[in-house]
Amino acid sequence: MQTLSEIRELLERAGHPPKKALGQNFLTDHNMIRKLVDDAGVAENERVLEIGPGTGALSIELLERGVKLIACELDAALAQVLRETLGEQYPDRFDLIEGDCLQRKRVINPEIVDAVGSEPFKLVANLPYHAATPLMLALMTKHPNCTGMFVTIQHEVVQRFGAQSGTKEYGTISVIAQQLGSVGTIAKLPPGCFWPQPGVASAMMRWVRQPDHTNDPDWWVSFAEITQQLFQSRRKQLAGVVNKLCTSQIDWPDGIAPTDRIDALSPDRVQALCRAIHEICYTQ
């Protein structure tokens, strides 16, 4: 596993210090790297996606456990270093994609989609914080072969993914994540686990897809879109919000009143409402 001095040497080889604009805060705590990979439960020959490998500290831990690693790196200089190091050391199990992980918001880079194929895979990564939420939502809603995500992101984003109804953190990403899978916190990370130290608190998050939520991807995309529209008016009564989405009257699901607000509904109730809206407004 890479030491801090080795990370510095690789950055010198790349020709630049850590780039703040790319969210380059390198996870250097070996115990935490092992903890993340242990929690992911990766197996030999399992397909794993890593976004933002940087100098390859986490990549090495994954490759040493025998996975088939697909890594996507935006920094061209670091991508070249990775090709010259991990690419030569693990030619049969390390596939590097140079570029942005997102083609556009919530649309995964097609090179990643092609590399992953239709086989099941896990996301294991110290994610660039600016790309974390749209990337994870895209994988949740549009790529059912992503069976789980084990990532380091901002602590406040972890809280939003796992938030309960009626709290200020509760919103679109809470509902989507909890309806499609289970959310948990692996560990909270102090800034000293990174170099350079980030200005925000970080945490390791686990998300595991529910096995029965791998079918009908078109529905989950619609569900995410409707949920986002509903939460744009989170403080208003549902009757007015739904009337703006539908020209016809919906059949209100049991347990939901037109006077309710969306942020008071549990994730399963939100999904029931989305289905009612979808049946009237999206299928006619």
Q: Which two tokens stand for residue 84?
A: 């010259």
pLDDT in tens, the chain (284 residues): 799 999 999 999 999 999 988 889 999 999 999 999 999 999 999 999 999 999 999 999 999 999 999 999 999 999 999 999 999 999 999 999 999 999 988 899 999 999 999 999 999 999 998 899 999 999 999 999 999 999 999 999 999 999 999 999 999 999 999 999 999 999 999 999 999 999 899 999 999 999 876 667 788 889 999 999 999 999 999 999 999 998 889 999 999 999 999 999 999 999 999 999 999 887 65
The per-residue pLDDT for range 117-130, each reduced to its tens digit, is 999 999 999 999 88
Query: Which residue type does 224 have?
Result: A
Among 52, 61, 218, which Cα is nearest to 126's? 52
pLDDT of residue 216: 75
Residue 97 has what pLDDT? 98
What is the pLDDT at residue 181? Answer: 96
Question: How many other C-beta atoms lie within 10 A of the C-beta of residue 219?
Answer: 16
- Rounded to whole angstroms, the Cα distance separating 218 from 212 reads 15
Q: What does the alpha-carbon distance between residue 147 and residue 164 come to, in Å, rounded to a whole number?
A: 23
What does the block give as tokens for 143? 């790529």
Q: What is the largest CA-CA distance in the chain?
A: 64
Query: Top-level CATH class of 217-281?
Result: mainly alpha
Q: What is the pLDDT of residue 214?
A: 62
Residue ranges of domains in the chain: 4-209, 217-281
Superfamily of domain 4-209: Vaccinia Virus protein VP39 (3.40.50.150)
Amino acid 281: pLDDT: 81
Q: Are 174 and 161 in contact (CB under 8 A)?
A: yes
**How many Å is the Cα radius of gyration of the chain?**
20
Closest to 49 measured CA to CA, from 105, 131, 117, 107? 117
SS (H, E, C) the chain: CCCHHHHHHHHHHHCCCCCHHHCCCEECCHHHHHHHHHHHCCCCCCEEEEECCCCCHHHHHHHHCCCEEEEEECCHHHHHHHHHCHHHHCCCCEEEEECCCEEECCEECHHHHHHHCCCCEEEEEECCHHHHHHHHHHHHHHCCCEEEEEEEEEHHHHHHHCCCCCCCCCCHHHHHHHHHEEEEEEEEECHHHEECCCCCCEEEEEEEECCCCCCCHHHHHHHHHHHHHHHCCCCCEHHHHHHHHCCCCCCCCCCCCCCCEHHHCCHHHHHHHHHHHHHHHCCC
- Please state at what angle helix 217-231 crosses helix 267-281, rounded to 10 degrees: 100
